[in-house]
Protein backbone atom coordinates (compact mmCIF):
# COMPACT_ATOMS: atom_id res chain seq x y z
CA UNK A 1 0.00 0.00 0.00
CA UNK A 2 2.77 2.44 0.93
CA UNK A 3 4.70 1.59 -2.23
CA UNK A 4 1.59 2.10 -4.37
CA UNK A 5 1.06 5.51 -2.75
CA UNK A 6 4.65 6.47 -3.54
CA UNK A 7 4.37 5.44 -7.17
CA UNK A 8 1.13 7.39 -7.60
CA UNK A 9 2.83 10.49 -6.22
CA UNK A 10 5.61 10.49 -8.82
CA UNK A 11 5.39 13.17 -11.52
CA UNK A 12 4.82 12.20 -15.14
CA UNK A 13 8.16 13.73 -16.18
CA UNK A 14 10.00 11.28 -13.93
CA UNK A 15 8.20 8.35 -15.55
CA UNK A 16 9.07 9.66 -19.02
CA UNK A 17 12.76 9.86 -18.14
CA UNK A 18 12.88 6.44 -16.48
CA UNK A 19 14.47 3.45 -18.18
CA UNK A 20 17.48 1.15 -18.19
CA UNK A 21 20.32 3.43 -19.25
CA UNK A 22 23.28 1.20 -18.34
CA UNK A 23 22.56 -2.54 -18.94
CA UNK A 24 26.02 -3.62 -17.75
CA UNK A 25 25.49 -1.87 -14.43
CA UNK A 26 22.19 -3.72 -14.06
CA UNK A 27 23.86 -7.05 -14.76
CA UNK A 28 26.64 -6.25 -12.29
CA UNK A 29 24.12 -5.40 -9.58
CA UNK A 30 22.27 -8.69 -10.12
CA UNK A 31 25.48 -10.74 -10.04
CA UNK A 32 26.48 -9.21 -6.69
CA UNK A 33 23.73 -11.31 -5.09
CA UNK A 34 26.13 -14.27 -5.25
CA UNK A 35 29.01 -12.85 -3.15
CA UNK A 36 26.45 -11.22 -0.86
CA UNK A 37 24.87 -14.58 -0.01
CA UNK A 38 28.28 -16.24 0.15
CA UNK A 39 29.54 -13.79 2.78
CA UNK A 40 26.32 -14.25 4.79
CA UNK A 41 26.84 -18.01 4.64
CA UNK A 42 30.42 -17.51 5.80
CA UNK A 43 29.12 -15.75 8.92
CA UNK A 44 26.85 -18.74 9.57
CA UNK A 45 29.76 -21.19 9.26
CA UNK A 46 31.80 -19.16 11.75
CA UNK A 47 28.84 -19.21 14.12
CA UNK A 48 28.56 -23.00 13.94
CA UNK A 49 32.30 -23.40 14.48
CA UNK A 50 32.21 -21.12 17.52
CA UNK A 51 29.29 -23.02 19.04
CA UNK A 52 31.26 -26.23 18.34
CA UNK A 53 28.49 -27.86 16.32
CA UNK A 54 29.63 -30.51 13.88
CA UNK A 55 27.12 -31.48 11.24
CA UNK A 56 26.96 -32.36 7.55
CA UNK A 57 27.19 -29.76 4.80
CA UNK A 58 23.59 -30.30 3.72
CA UNK A 59 22.26 -29.45 7.17
CA UNK A 60 24.40 -26.30 7.28
CA UNK A 61 23.05 -25.13 3.93
CA UNK A 62 19.44 -26.02 4.70
CA UNK A 63 19.55 -24.30 8.08
CA UNK A 64 21.07 -21.19 6.51
CA UNK A 65 18.38 -20.90 3.85
CA UNK A 66 15.64 -21.69 6.35
CA UNK A 67 16.91 -18.69 8.29
CA UNK A 68 16.51 -16.54 5.19
CA UNK A 69 12.88 -17.68 4.92
CA UNK A 70 12.00 -16.82 8.51
CA UNK A 71 14.12 -13.67 8.36
CA UNK A 72 11.96 -12.41 5.50
CA UNK A 73 9.07 -12.11 7.95
CA UNK A 74 10.97 -9.86 10.37
CA UNK A 75 12.59 -6.39 10.07
CA UNK A 76 16.24 -6.45 8.94
CA UNK A 77 16.22 -10.28 8.92
CA UNK A 78 16.51 -10.41 12.73
CA UNK A 79 14.33 -13.54 12.83
CA UNK A 80 16.80 -15.62 10.82
CA UNK A 81 17.72 -17.64 13.93
CA UNK A 82 14.19 -19.13 14.02
CA UNK A 83 14.66 -21.11 10.82
CA UNK A 84 18.17 -22.10 11.76
CA UNK A 85 17.80 -23.65 15.18
CA UNK A 86 15.06 -26.12 14.22
CA UNK A 87 17.65 -28.14 12.32
CA UNK A 88 19.57 -28.90 15.49
CA UNK A 89 19.04 -30.62 18.82
CA UNK A 90 17.43 -28.65 21.62
CA UNK A 91 20.70 -28.38 23.55
CA UNK A 92 22.18 -26.19 20.79
CA UNK A 93 19.21 -23.95 20.07
CA UNK A 94 19.81 -21.31 22.73
CA UNK A 95 23.41 -20.79 21.63
CA UNK A 96 22.43 -20.72 17.95
CA UNK A 97 19.91 -18.02 18.78
CA UNK A 98 22.36 -15.99 20.89
CA UNK A 99 25.26 -16.13 18.43
CA UNK A 100 23.03 -15.46 15.42
CA UNK A 101 21.63 -12.38 17.17
CA UNK A 102 25.19 -11.28 17.97
CA UNK A 103 26.05 -11.73 14.30
CA UNK A 104 23.02 -9.62 13.36
CA UNK A 105 24.25 -6.89 15.70
CA UNK A 106 27.51 -6.95 13.73
CA UNK A 107 25.54 -6.07 10.59
CA UNK A 108 23.74 -3.33 12.51
CA UNK A 109 27.13 -1.89 13.53
CA UNK A 110 28.23 -1.80 9.90
CA UNK A 111 25.14 0.20 8.93
CA UNK A 112 25.39 2.77 11.71
CA UNK A 113 29.17 3.12 11.26
CA UNK A 114 29.00 3.92 7.56
CA UNK A 115 25.89 6.01 8.17
CA UNK A 116 27.70 8.07 10.80
CA UNK A 117 30.68 8.49 8.45
CA UNK A 118 28.31 9.76 5.79
CA UNK A 119 26.75 12.32 8.12
CA UNK A 120 30.17 13.60 9.16
CA UNK A 121 31.37 13.54 5.54
CA UNK A 122 28.42 15.53 4.15
CA UNK A 123 28.07 17.61 7.29
CA UNK A 124 24.38 16.76 7.60
CA UNK A 125 21.73 14.09 7.46
CA UNK A 126 20.05 14.87 4.15
CA UNK A 127 16.55 14.74 5.66
CA UNK A 128 17.32 16.36 9.04
CA UNK A 129 18.86 19.80 9.43
CA UNK A 130 19.55 19.81 13.20
CA UNK A 131 23.19 18.80 12.70
CA UNK A 132 24.56 19.39 16.20
CA UNK A 133 21.93 17.33 18.01
CA UNK A 134 22.19 14.64 15.35
CA UNK A 135 25.96 14.36 15.72
CA UNK A 136 25.67 13.80 19.47
CA UNK A 137 22.87 11.27 19.03
CA UNK A 138 24.79 9.28 16.42
CA UNK A 139 27.94 9.35 18.54
CA UNK A 140 26.04 7.96 21.52
CA UNK A 141 24.38 5.23 19.44
CA UNK A 142 27.67 4.17 17.82
CA UNK A 143 29.66 4.11 21.08
CA UNK A 144 26.97 2.27 23.06
CA UNK A 145 26.47 -0.27 20.27
CA UNK A 146 30.17 -1.07 20.00
CA UNK A 147 30.55 -1.34 23.77
CA UNK A 148 27.62 -3.73 23.96
CA UNK A 149 28.91 -5.81 21.05
CA UNK A 150 32.45 -6.23 22.34
CA UNK A 151 31.70 -6.29 26.07
CA UNK A 152 28.46 -8.24 26.21
CA UNK A 153 30.35 -10.70 28.43
CA UNK A 154 30.24 -8.15 31.23
CA UNK A 155 26.48 -7.81 30.91
CA UNK A 156 26.15 -11.56 31.32
CA UNK A 157 27.30 -11.38 34.92
CA UNK A 158 23.76 -10.30 35.75
CA UNK A 159 22.61 -13.74 34.54
CA UNK A 160 25.03 -15.88 36.52
CA UNK A 161 22.34 -18.28 37.62
CA UNK A 162 21.19 -18.92 34.07
CA UNK A 163 22.84 -21.87 32.36
CA UNK A 164 22.62 -20.01 29.06
CA UNK A 165 24.70 -17.09 30.33
CA UNK A 166 27.53 -19.33 31.49
CA UNK A 167 27.57 -21.34 28.26
CA UNK A 168 27.46 -18.26 26.05
CA UNK A 169 30.25 -16.54 27.96
CA UNK A 170 32.41 -19.68 27.90
CA UNK A 171 32.10 -20.05 24.13
CA UNK A 172 32.92 -16.37 23.61
CA UNK A 173 36.02 -16.73 25.77
CA UNK A 174 37.17 -19.76 23.76
CA UNK A 175 36.71 -17.83 20.49
CA UNK A 176 38.04 -14.31 21.18
CA UNK A 177 38.20 -13.45 17.48
CA UNK A 178 34.57 -14.37 16.73
CA UNK A 179 33.21 -10.84 17.04
CA UNK A 180 36.07 -9.28 15.08
CA UNK A 181 35.70 -11.82 12.28
CA UNK A 182 31.92 -11.34 12.16
CA UNK A 183 32.33 -7.57 12.12
CA UNK A 184 34.80 -7.79 9.23
CA UNK A 185 32.37 -9.90 7.20
CA UNK A 186 29.51 -7.54 8.14
CA UNK A 187 31.52 -4.59 6.81
CA UNK A 188 32.26 -6.61 3.67
CA UNK A 189 28.55 -7.27 3.15
CA UNK A 190 27.77 -3.60 3.64
CA UNK A 191 30.31 -2.65 0.95
CA UNK A 192 28.61 -5.17 -1.35
CA UNK A 193 25.19 -3.67 -0.51
CA UNK A 194 26.53 -0.20 -1.32
CA UNK A 195 28.07 -1.25 -4.61
CA UNK A 196 24.96 -3.18 -5.59
CA UNK A 197 22.57 -0.31 -4.81
CA UNK A 198 24.77 2.25 -6.56
CA UNK A 199 25.03 0.06 -9.68
CA UNK A 200 21.27 -0.36 -9.74
CA UNK A 201 20.78 3.40 -9.54
CA UNK A 202 23.35 3.96 -12.29
CA UNK A 203 21.57 1.34 -14.41
CA UNK A 204 18.41 3.46 -14.17
CA UNK A 205 20.19 6.68 -15.11
CA UNK A 206 21.77 8.10 -11.93
CA UNK A 207 25.24 9.62 -12.09
CA UNK A 208 27.77 7.76 -9.95
CA UNK A 209 29.49 10.00 -7.41
CA UNK A 210 30.91 9.91 -3.90
CA UNK A 211 27.92 11.98 -2.81
CA UNK A 212 25.61 9.25 -4.12
CA UNK A 213 27.52 6.65 -2.08
CA UNK A 214 27.21 8.80 1.04
CA UNK A 215 23.48 9.14 0.36
CA UNK A 216 23.12 5.37 0.09
CA UNK A 217 24.86 4.98 3.45
CA UNK A 218 22.31 7.33 4.99
CA UNK A 219 19.48 5.31 3.45
CA UNK A 220 20.76 2.16 5.16
CA UNK A 221 21.32 4.04 8.41
CA UNK A 222 17.74 5.33 8.53
CA UNK A 223 16.28 2.04 7.32
CA UNK A 224 18.09 0.19 10.10
CA UNK A 225 16.55 2.33 12.84
CA UNK A 226 13.14 2.92 11.24
CA UNK A 227 10.19 0.98 12.75
CA UNK A 228 8.63 -1.75 10.63
CA UNK A 229 6.91 -5.12 10.94
CA UNK A 230 7.66 -7.66 8.23
CA UNK A 231 9.09 -8.34 4.77
CA UNK A 232 12.46 -6.68 5.24
CA UNK A 233 10.90 -3.21 5.58
CA UNK A 234 9.57 -3.11 2.03
CA UNK A 235 7.90 0.25 1.50
CA UNK A 236 9.75 1.78 4.44
CA UNK A 237 13.14 1.57 2.74
CA UNK A 238 11.68 2.88 -0.52
CA UNK A 239 10.22 5.89 1.30
CA UNK A 240 13.53 6.63 3.03
CA UNK A 241 15.48 6.19 -0.20
CA UNK A 242 13.11 8.56 -1.97
CA UNK A 243 13.43 11.25 0.72
CA UNK A 244 17.23 10.98 0.91
CA UNK A 245 18.33 10.39 -2.69
CA UNK A 246 15.84 12.77 -4.28
CA UNK A 247 17.74 15.60 -2.54
CA UNK A 248 20.71 14.59 -4.73
CA UNK A 249 18.67 15.00 -7.92
CA UNK A 250 18.17 11.29 -8.65
CA UNK A 251 15.05 10.41 -10.64
CA UNK A 252 12.25 9.45 -8.23
CA UNK A 253 11.13 6.44 -10.29
CA UNK A 254 14.73 5.23 -10.54
CA UNK A 255 15.05 5.43 -6.76
CA UNK A 256 11.87 3.45 -6.12
CA UNK A 257 12.62 0.77 -8.69
CA UNK A 258 16.27 0.46 -7.65
CA UNK A 259 15.33 0.04 -3.98
CA UNK A 260 12.56 -2.43 -4.78
CA UNK A 261 14.86 -4.39 -7.10
CA UNK A 262 17.51 -4.67 -4.38
CA UNK A 263 14.85 -5.99 -1.97
CA UNK A 264 13.71 -8.59 -4.50
CA UNK A 265 17.31 -9.65 -5.23
CA UNK A 266 18.69 -9.78 -1.70
CA UNK A 267 15.66 -10.76 0.36
CA UNK A 268 12.87 -12.32 -1.65
CA UNK A 269 14.86 -14.36 -4.19
CA UNK A 270 17.11 -16.10 -1.60
CA UNK A 271 14.05 -16.78 0.57
CA UNK A 272 12.21 -18.38 -2.36
CA UNK A 273 15.32 -20.42 -3.12
CA UNK A 274 15.33 -21.42 0.54
CA UNK A 275 11.76 -22.67 0.27
CA UNK A 276 12.75 -24.88 -2.66
CA UNK A 277 15.85 -26.19 -0.90
CA UNK A 278 14.19 -26.88 2.45
CA UNK A 279 10.76 -28.13 1.42
CA UNK A 280 11.68 -31.81 1.60
CA UNK A 281 13.88 -31.52 4.68
CA UNK A 282 12.77 -33.01 7.99
CA UNK A 283 13.48 -30.68 10.91
CA UNK A 284 14.54 -31.84 14.32
CA UNK A 285 11.66 -32.49 16.63
CA UNK A 286 11.12 -29.90 19.32
Distance CA 95, CA 97 (A): 5
pLDDT at 10: 64
Q: What are 128's strand-pairing partners?
A: 125
Give the pLDDT confidence score for residue 218 in this predicted structure. Answer: 92
Q: What is the band of 192 on the pLDDT scale with cuts at 50, 70, 90?
A: very high
Q: What is the dihedral of CA 157, 162, 168, 173, to 10 degrees?
A: 40
Q: What is the pTM of this model?
A: 0.87
Q: Hey, which of 47-51, 170-174, 271-275 has the most confident mean pLDDT? A: 47-51
Q: Are 201 and 178 in contact (CB under 8 A)?
A: no
143 contact partners, CB below 8 Å, separation of at least 6: none
Higher per-residue confidence, 232 vs 67? 67
pLDDT tens readout for residues 202-249:
999 899 999 999 999 999 998 887 755 555 566 678 788 888 898 888
What is the pLDDT confidence band of residue 157, given thresholds at 50, 70 and 90?
Answer: low
Residue count (the chain):
286
The angle that helices 131-150 and 178-203 make with each other, rounded to 10 degrees, is 140
CA distances (Å), origin 255, targets 25, 33, 137: 15, 19, 28
Amino acid sequence: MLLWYQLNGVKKEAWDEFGVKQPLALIGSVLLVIPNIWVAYGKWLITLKTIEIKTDQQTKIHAFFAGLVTGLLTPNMIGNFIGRFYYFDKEHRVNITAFTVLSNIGQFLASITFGAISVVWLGELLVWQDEERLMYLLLIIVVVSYLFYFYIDNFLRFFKRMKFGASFKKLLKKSPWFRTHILFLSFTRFVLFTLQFSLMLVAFGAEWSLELIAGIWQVYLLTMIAPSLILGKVGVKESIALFVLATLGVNEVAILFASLSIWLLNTVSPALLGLLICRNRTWKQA
